Amino acid sequence: MALIERFEDIKAWQEARILTRQVYQVSGKGKFYQDAGLRNQIRRASVSAMSNIAEGFDCESKKEFARFLEIARRSAVEVQSLLYVALDVNYIDEATFKTFYDQAATTKRLIGALRHAVLKRA
């Protein structure tokens, strides 16, 4: 396994970045864009997942890193929940929902696995 030297090397961060890019693309047009509350909330949640992985990587202790990873994982779950809102009010279709939901699930799973590994070494 390759040594992780920068937060950009973390697979969970890479997947969170993809999720964030997707969220910004879909929320940047049409009725989704006009709904400032939902648009801003889902964007903040996706950015939070990505940012907390990066912030945690720079922590002084593994336990603190694990705490940041837990926040990041919860933010990915928040994105999943907000996707239901977007689907229910017809801002996105079922196919878009599934694609983005699955991306958030992948991100969440990788963050959880990383957190577990970090705690084992704490």
In a domain, 4, yes or no: no
CA atoms within 13 A on the CB side of 39: 14
Q: Which two tokens stand for residue 19?
A: 């999720």
84: in domain: yes
* Residue 6, domain member (yes or no): no
Question: pLDDT by residue (tens digit) across 57-105?
Answer: 999 899 999 999 999 999 999 999 999 999 999 999 999 999 999 999 9
CATH of the domain at 95: 1.20.1440.60
For 51-63, b/e burial (b = at least 16 CB within 10 A) is bbbbbbbeeeeee
Q: How many domains does the chain have?
A: 1
3, part of any domain: no
> Looking at the domain assignment, is residue 2 inside a domain?
no
| Residue 3 pLDDT level (bands cut at 50, 70, 90) | confident
State which residues form the domain around 51: 11-120
In a domain, 35, yes or no: yes
